[in-house]
Amino acid sequence: MMSYNSSGDVIAAIATAAGGGIGIVRISGNGAAGIIKKIFAANKKIKKFEARKLYYGDIVDPFDGRTVDEALVSFMYAPNSYTAEDTVEINCHGGAAPLKKILELVLQNGARLAEPGEFTKRAFLNGRIDLSQAEAVADIISAKTEAQAKYAAVQLEGGLSDIVNEFKEIILNCLARIEAAIDYPEHEDELGPASPEIIASELENLIGQAVKLVKSAEAGKIIRDGINAVIAGKPNVGKSSLLNALLKEDRAIVTDMPGTTRDALTESVNLSGVPLNLTDTAGIRETTDIIEKIGVERSEKTVGAAELIFLVLDGSEPLDAQDFSLIDKIKDKKAIIIINKSDLPNVITRETPEIASLDKPAVMLSAKSRGGISELTDEIKKSVYSGGFDAENRGVLSNIRHIDALNGALEHLRLAKETAEAGFAVDFISIDLTAAYERLAEITGDNAGADLIDKIFSEFCLGK
């Protein structure tokens, strides 16, 4: 890790969206306090600005003495700040003009414009947070539901980091004992035994814990990204009406004319704190209309890639060849059968042989009157969310980079265990143990390269 003020310069950026009641200009680096003293006139004489106190006064342009805005200014000194550097935050009015002018004054008096994510990057480089915690900051900013925000907050507090560090500590302990057994066998009693049998037993327990964490990835991905669901069916069965019913607003155009939907329409609905990304597709049927044909082809591709399919059938009409074709397409997919138009006399039901034989959840529903929507949402929770998620569970993976690193570590741990069980010398075991440790260190960023660090933080918003 790098030391405080590692880059030697002062950075600044607007940390809030323009147009709100309050705006914040953030400054970080050695010399931040000196810059603010040039442009801030406190309402009373201050010998030294104390940390974590708000000072009221005016931001003044030192070149012409004009007051730009009144402000509340706070000071946080290294290492007790977000970046672990001297940090100043200027709270002013949130209009675009005062924010822009105050930032200009800060830049004119010695700071440079921060790069996207540079404040959080400095927090990482200065050792205040690790890389997985830094990524959690971005997740909090982009969270659309309460569950996503809770999950990201747990990771920011070090939920995943704690588990990964425990794994690393176990591996280091094994490596230390192996090293001692090779170089200082007379001290084996002090560090503990390092026989292949004992190492293999300890690795078996560690592998079990790692496998459990890997298995959490599916749930974690759904919390973080939601699940992509597709509403499929032939034309005029009520797909767009279903989308509107789930969204509780008229988002899709609904008419009695078949083929109204020509292209995919995607919206997100918050279901028990997790985003359900719904795509309404063009009705799948044989058609000579060139535009509709393109829409049908796109629908078929979307259905093929979906994580969850809502197959909508018209319950007031007998199943036909198009229905049977769609039923065949979803046999091996995670799907919920929706028998729509339950407000009309039903010709097909959940007990219809072709429906019952699918062994998939089926819901009787009227998208028009929205009857049966609560039953559908319950089925979605059962089928996809298993009734819901514990977003505050500390042992949940969701980030693809973390999943890949943990899978890599798990592979090396298994190889190390196999080597130990085969009775090879302990120094052979240490090769894969070291590789497993390095893969785990990728998660927390202990050995992250500059390219990876730059890539991660470049995806942050400016001012964070």
Q: Could you give the domains of the chain? A: 11-130 (3.30.1360.120), 146-216+395-445 (1.20.120.430), 223-385 (3.40.50.300)
Distance CA 440, CA 160 (A): 11
Strands 22-28 and 11-14: antiparallel
Predicted pLDDT of residue 390? 55
**CB count, 10 Å around CB of 225?**
14
In degrees to the nearest 10, what's the CA dihedral of 197, 200, 204, 206? 120
CB-based contact 145:125 (threshold 8 Å): no
Predicted pLDDT of residue 254? 39
How confident is the prediction along the chain (464 residues), in pLDDT tens digits per residue? 444 444 579 999 999 987 789 999 999 999 999 999 999 998 777 778 899 999 999 999 999 999 999 999 999 999 999 999 999 999 999 999 999 999 999 999 999 999 999 999 999 999 999 999 999 998 888 887 777 888 888 888 888 999 999 999 999 999 988 887 776 665 555 545 678 888 899 999 999 999 999 888 877 777 777 778 888 888 888 888 888 888 776 554 333 444 444 445 777 777 766 778 888 765 454 544 554 455 555 555 666 556 788 889 998 989 988 888 888 888 888 889 999 998 898 888 889 988 888 888 999 998 888 888 888 888 887 776 554 455 556 667 888 899 999 999 999 999 999 999 998 877 889 999 999 999 999 999 988 888 888 888 888 888 88
Predicted pLDDT of residue 4? 41
- Residues 349-391: tens digit of each pLDDT: 889 988 888 888 999 998 888 888 888 888 887 776 554 455 5
Tokens 């995670």, residue?
334
Distance CA 259, CA 87 (A): 59
- Residues 326-354: tens digit of each pLDDT: 888 888 888 899 999 988 988 888 899 88
Find how far residue 349's CA is from the centre of its chain.
39
CB-based contact 239:283 (threshold 8 Å): yes
Listed residue (212, 188, 203, 195) closest to 433, CA to CA: 203
Element (H, E) at 225: helix 217-225
Indicate the DSSP class of residue 14.
Answer: E
Listed residue (413, 373, 392) closest to 214, CA to CA: 413
Predicted pLDDT of residue 263? 47
Tokens 């009373």, residue?
44
**CB count, 10 Å around CB of 200?**
18
Q: Which whole-number Å values give the CA distances from 1 to 158, 430, 445, in the listed order?
A: 17, 25, 10
Q: Which whole-number Å values give the CA distances from 249 to 240, 312, 367, 379, 401, in the listed order?
A: 11, 19, 12, 21, 37
Whole-prediction pTM value? 0.74
Predicted pLDDT of residue 253? 39
CB-based contact 202:177 (threshold 8 Å): no
